[in-house]
Amino acid sequence: MKETLVILAAGMGSRYGGLKQIDGVGNHNEPIIEFTIYDAIKTGFKKVVLIIRKEHQEAFEESLVKKIRPYVEVEYTYQDINDIPENVVVPEGRVKPWGTTHALLACRNILKEDPFVVCNADDFYGRNAFEQVMEYFHQDNDADNYCMVGYKVENTLSDNGTVTRGYCHKDENGNLSSIKEIMNIKWNDNHDGVLFEENGEYKAMEMGTPVSMNFWGFKPSVINKLNNVFTNEIAEGIKNNPIKYEALLPNHVGVLVNNKQCNVKVLTSNDSWFGVTYKEDKPKVVAKIQALKDEGVYPDQLF
């Protein structure tokens, strides 16, 4: 198998205020995405697909890709706002991409044979996530069985604002039974509990609740399934919210699960997520990355 790492890197970084996907956080100006690729290579992944906006390719090439090409096969693909069904029209004034499902569908002509991981460019997952998914790939050959790595919600929060996470429920076999993207999750005022917004009111979320950080282990069969969900949904989504509608991968995996089109094993990580949702998150990320280097988890120079 040529296990492939697919990185969602076409976001606009509106809350961050810049191209956070390649903003340096290491002492050699490495972005988080470079640590993700390093972990994938160490775990045995053989190819990296970067889903970006075409106008950002030169920036990615100069700051990241030319360093990693000697170590792994790299391919670009592009999320294009005009890459939608023929009967759908882009609303006037719309500049925002169509979300993470749409981004993954930009790989539909690439991901045809081998299993692949999908993850975000600006989230740090830790090597254990890759190790668990790689083990799963080698144990389960069913084309319609997938997996995800879940994180405890309290290990995924920002100190600088709310976050969006995929709220997960598991069945008795450890498979995903439902998932829904929940917005505006945050610490409570005492920093000892988690809150989420529902219908304009903040409610408590149980500590330890598994949430998706968009770390998925898929097989190629998922592409056509997701394309069907996206195609059936986009017109209604635009009608309801023409400027901000997004096709969100956790929600669409949830549709597949509800329709019994796949099984998704929920693997768990006790690692703490960290990332750069907000510009103010960066100093903490820089400190954590340096601590991991000091502990010997990563070498001083990755590539």
Give per-residue pLDDT as tens, 215-255. Answer: 999 999 999 999 999 999 999 999 999 999 999 999 999 99
Q: Is residue 27 part of a domain?
A: yes
- Read off the CATH number of the domain in which 191 is found: 3.90.550.10
> 189, 215, 192, 193: which is closest to 204 by C-alpha?
193
- Position 21 confidence tier, pLDDT thresholds 50, 70, 90: confident
- Domain tally, the chain: 1
Q: Is residue 39 part of a domain?
A: yes
Give per-residue pLDDT as tens, 110-153. Answer: 999 999 999 999 899 999 999 999 999 999 989 999 999 999 99
The overall average pLDDT reported for the chain is 92
- Position 12 confidence tier, pLDDT thresholds 50, 70, 90: low
Q: Is residue 214 part of a domain?
A: yes
d(CA 242, CA 262): 30
Instruction: List the domain range (segments joined by +) for residue 141.
Output: 4-294
Q: Is residue 237 part of a domain?
A: yes
d(CA 257, CA 222): 11
Q: Roughly how many angstroms between the first and final C-alpha of the chain, as a whole number? A: 24
Provide the whole-model pTM.
Answer: 0.91
Q: Which amino acid is at 294?
A: D
Q: Is residue 300 part of a domain?
A: no
Angle at 181 between CA 178 and CA 185, to 5 degrees: 120
Confidence (pLDDT) at 75: 97
Give the whole-number percent of the chain exceeding pLDDT 70.
98
- Position 18 confidence tier, pLDDT thresholds 50, 70, 90: low
Q: Is residue 234 part of a domain?
A: yes
